[in-house]
A and B are shown apart, each in its own frame.
Chain A
Amino acid sequence: MTRTILLALLLLLGLAAAPFDVAPPAFAQSSNEATDRGVHPNPSRNPSATDEELMRVLGQERLPPDRVQGNVYLPDRKLGVLIQPQGRTWRDFRVTGTRWIHGILLGLAVLAVILLAVLRGRDRYRTDPEGRRILRFRAVDRFVHWMTAVSFILLALTGLNFVFGRTLLQPWMGDGAFSAMSLWGLSVHNAVGFAFLLGILAMAVMWVQDNLFHRVDWVWFRSGALFRKVHAPAEKFNAGQKLIYWGAVLGGLALGVTGVLMMLPISTVGVNGMQWLQGVHTVLAGLMIALIIGHIYLGTWGVEGSFEAMSRGDVDLHWARTHHPLWVEDAYGRRRPDGRFEPAE
C-alpha cells in the first residue's frame, strides 16, 4: 500500500534541488514540451532533480537536510507532500513518545491508587439503623453514566492497543490475529467515540448544576479529605468529585473534537494539523485514563457504599449524611420525597 502511494506520488511529482545531469526518460526536456502535453509546472519551482535522483535520495537511510521539491500535477498540492520533515518528528513521537507518556501516566495512576489504599484505606460506613435509603441517581443519570463508562473503557482498550499493541500483543498473538484485531479495534474506536461524546454531552448538561464550585469546596480541599478518612462538608458532589466531573467533561469534549477531526480527511486541517490533533488527543487520553483509574477505585473499593449509588440508584441514609451532608439537608431535609425517606430529625 505504502509502495503504491509512493509510486503514485512519484509519478505525479516533478523534481527539484539537484543538478539535472540525467534527463528524465519520459518528460520535460523543455517546459514547452511538457506544456504541450497538458502539464503545467509551477515556474517558481522548476524541477531540478531527476526521478532517479529522487529515488536515490528516498532510499537513503538519512535524508538530506535540504528540501527536495518539485512539481505536483495534481490540483490538490497537499497530496504532493512525499516526505514532510515534521513528519519525522511526529513519527518519533508517535512511535516512542506516546509509549512513554502512556506508560508513565498509567504507572502514576496505579501508584496513586496504591498510595490511596495504603494511606486512606477503605472508607467503610455504618448503615442507618432503620435501613432507610435515599435516591441519589435517577435511572436516566445511571444510564448516561454507564453509557459513558462502557464506551470509555472500550475506547481506552482499543486506544491503548494503538500505543502498546505492537510491542505487547503482536509478538505473542502473531501478525494475522493482531492485524485483524487492530483493524476491528480501529473501527470500534471510531464508532464508539460517538457514544462516548453523546454521554459526555449529556453529563455536561445534566450534572453541571451540582458540580459548580462553592466556598465549601475549599474547606473540603483544606481538610485533606482525599488523603485521610475525614468527612469534610460536601454537597451532592465533594470537591474531588467535582474535579473528576470537570476533567471528564472538558477532557471528554476535547477528545471528542480532536477525534472527530482526525477521522475527517487531511484536507480539513492539513498534514501538520493532523499531527497536532494526534498529539493533543493522545496526551489528553492518557490524562483521562489516569483520572478514571482513580475514579473507578474510589467508586468501588475505595469508598464503601458508593457503588450502590450508580448500580441501584439509592444509598444508605447514614452514608449520605456522612459523605454528602449538605446535599441530604438540601434535597431531603425538610420534605418527604417519594416515600423512600423520612425527613431528617
Chain B
Amino acid sequence: MRAFLLACVGVLAVAFGAYALLEGVLARNAGTEFAVKGSTRVSEADKVDPRGYLSSVHEPAGGVSSGRDGGRAVGGPAKDRGRPAEATEGKR
C-alpha cells in the first residue's frame, strides 16, 4: 500500500500547487483583471453625473467590485480589501 500512500501525497502536492496558482494567479482572472482596469478608465471627466455618480443609480463608481472573490477588492492593496466602496474609489 506504499503506492497508495505516495499517491495521496501526490494528490496533496499537485492540489496545493494548483491551489496556490488558482487562488493567487488564476483568481485574478481576466474578468477581474478587466474590471480592475476598466474601473481606472472611468476618469472624473467621463462621469455622466456632474455630482460624481456614474448614472442615475446613486452608487459611487468605486463600489462596484466583481469576480468570484465575494466582493473583496482583489486588485487593490491588502489594506483596501473588504473595505466599503467609497474607501476604494479611484484607487483601483
Question: Which residues does A use to contact B, with CB under 8 Å?
Answer: 1, 4-5, 7-8, 10-12, 24-28, 34, 37-39, 51, 73-76, 79, 139, 142-147, 149-151, 154, 187-188, 190-195, 198, 263-268, 311, 313
Contacts and interface: CB of A to CB of B under 8 A. Distances in A.
Interface in B18-56: 18-19, 22-23, 26, 29-32, 34-35, 38, 41, 45-49, 53-56
Contact of A12 (B16, B54, B71): B54
B89 interface: no
B70 interface: yes
Contacts of B53: 11, 26
A265 B45 contact: no
A193 B48 CA distance: 45
B38 A76 contact: yes
A1 B70 contact: yes
Contact of A188 (B15, B32, B56, B63): B15
Contacts of A142: 3-4, 7
A106 to B, nearest CB: 24
Given A37-B46, A265-B31, 13 more contacts: A4-B71, A7-B57, A7-B64, A10-B55, A10-B57, A26-B55, A27-B48, A150-B4, A154-B11, A192-B15, A195-B10, A265-B32, A267-B34
Contact of B48 (A7, A39, A74, A149): A39
30 contacts: A4-B63, A5-B66, A7-B57, A11-B54, A11-B56, A12-B55, A25-B56, A26-B53, A28-B48, A34-B48, A37-B47, A39-B48, A51-B57, A73-B54, A142-B4, A147-B11, A150-B11, A187-B23, A191-B14, A192-B15, A194-B14, A194-B17, A194-B18, A195-B14, A195-B18, A265-B29, A265-B31, A265-B34, A267-B34, A311-B4
Q: Is the interface of B mostly helix, strand, loop or mixed?
A: helix
Given A5-B66, A51-B57, A142-B3, A265 B30 contact: yes
Nearest to B4: A146
A1 B71 contact: yes
A25 B57 CA distance: 9
Interface of B: 1-4, 6-8, 10-11, 14-19, 22-23, 26, 29-32, 34-35, 38, 41, 45-49, 53-57, 59, 63-66, 70-71
A51 B56 contact: yes
Nearest to A148: B7
Q: Is the interface of A mostly helix, strand, loop or mixed?
A: helix
A188 to B, nearest CB: 7
Can you list the 5 inter-chain pairs with the closest CB atoms, starting with the nearest?
A: A146-B7, A142-B3, A26-B56, A265-B31, A38-B46
Contacts of B31: 265-267
B1 A24 contact: no
B19 A26 contact: no
A190 B22 contact: yes
Contacts of B57: 7, 10-11, 51
A191 B15 contact: yes
A191 B57 CA distance: 39
A246 to B, nearest CB: 22
Nearest to B12: A195
A4 B64 contact: yes
A191 B18 contact: yes
Nearest to B70: A1
Nearest to B20: A191
A150 B49 contact: no
Contacts of B48: 26-28, 34, 37-39, 73
B21 to A, nearest CB: 9
Contact of B65 (A4, A26, A192): A4
A344 B56 CA distance: 87
Contacts of A38: 45-48
Contacts of B41: 75
